[in-house]
Amino acid sequence: MVRVLTLSGVSVVREGNTILDSLDWTVDSDDRWVILGPNGAGKTTLLKLASASMHPSAGTVEILGEQLGRVDVFELRPRIGFASSAMARQIPNDETVEDAVLTAAYSITGRWNEEYEDVDRRRAERVLKEWRLESLRGRRFGTLSDGEQKRVQIGRSVMTDPELLLLDEPAASLDLGAREELVQLLGDYASSPEAPGMIMVTHHVEEIPRGFTHALLLAEGRIHAAGPISEVVTGERLSDAFGLPLVVSTSEDGRYAARALQL
């Protein structure tokens, strides 16, 4: 087990607004964290810090043993997998699924004249299989369903065997079947001891895959609760963070569901 992320007294201020306020948080390589919180809580901003895409206004961020501000982020970023819809928009619509996964080896989108080594091709094969993309390898990215596109995004993010994996709302906008397929694949991945430290932002506790170990509840830029998932994803804690009475149920296979009590 190694520490993959440390935030110490981290604040982010933009245009006079405090978006993140004095956060202290650590993530280890064995951890799979889910981040929950109302709209505007600061979840995406937190992922931007963790992906070395943004610097804090105050405090220190250490990623994979390197402190932001003292490291070349272009060397650090290839060690971090990041899947988000903003990233997916960079994949050309006419790129094949196979190339969309393979080009992640060079952190690029859009195949040009790069040469790929056997090791990259073997990895891409493994990723296509793991994320149920084998039968779609020749299809153009722009012709895929939302669920298939999400699997390509995640496939790209794990292609380089990252040491830290960040997922920003991976199941957003999916129908029930596509969501369940993706959540199950993510559960298989998260349950593997070889998987890297993971941080996933979601709006819905129903999207938390099996194997997730910790939860962080963010509201108005502050940590409301953080710790083992069973202690944080509770009706009491979620009601407090979202400001309405919620009940949470847990199933035996480690999935969650939440609903509001009659308002």
Ligand X SMILES: Nc1ncnc2c1ncn2[C@@H]1O[C@H](COP(=O)(O)OP(=O)(O)OP(=O)(O)O)[C@@H](O)[C@H]1O
In angstroms, give the least distance from the CB of 6 to ligand X: 20
Q: 261: which DSSP letter?
A: P
Whichever of 46 and 198 has its CB closer to ligand X, that residue is 46
d(CA 27, CA 5): 5
C-beta of 39 vs 251, nearer to ligand X: 39
- Spatial separation of the C-alpha atoms in residues 61 and 10, rounded to whole Å: 7
Round to whole Å and give the CA distance between 63 and 2. Answer: 11
Residue 27: alpha-carbon gap to chain centroid: 13
Q: Identify which of residues 29 and 85 has a Cβ nearer to ligand X in the complex.
A: 85
Identity of the residue, 54 or 71, whose beta carbon is nearer to ligand X in the bound complex: 54
For residue 201, the minimal CB distance to ligand X (Å) is 7
Beta carbon of residue 40, minimum distance to ligand X (angstroms, whole number): 4
Which residues in this chain contact ligand X in the complex, by CB under 6 A? Answer: 14-15, 17, 19, 37, 39-45
Task: Quote the CA–CA distance of 165 and 109 in Å, as a whole number.
Answer: 19
| Six token digits for residue 96 | 């094949």
State the nearest-atom distance from the C-beta of 38 to ligand X, in Å.
Answer: 7
Minimum CB distance to ligand X smaller for 37 or for 56:
37
Tokens standing for residue 75: 């060397």
- Residue 55 Cβ, how far from ligand X at the closest point, in Å? 13
Q: Of 89, 27, 96, nearest to 64 (Cα)? A: 27
Rg (CA), the chain: 18
CA 116 to chain CA mean position, Å: 27
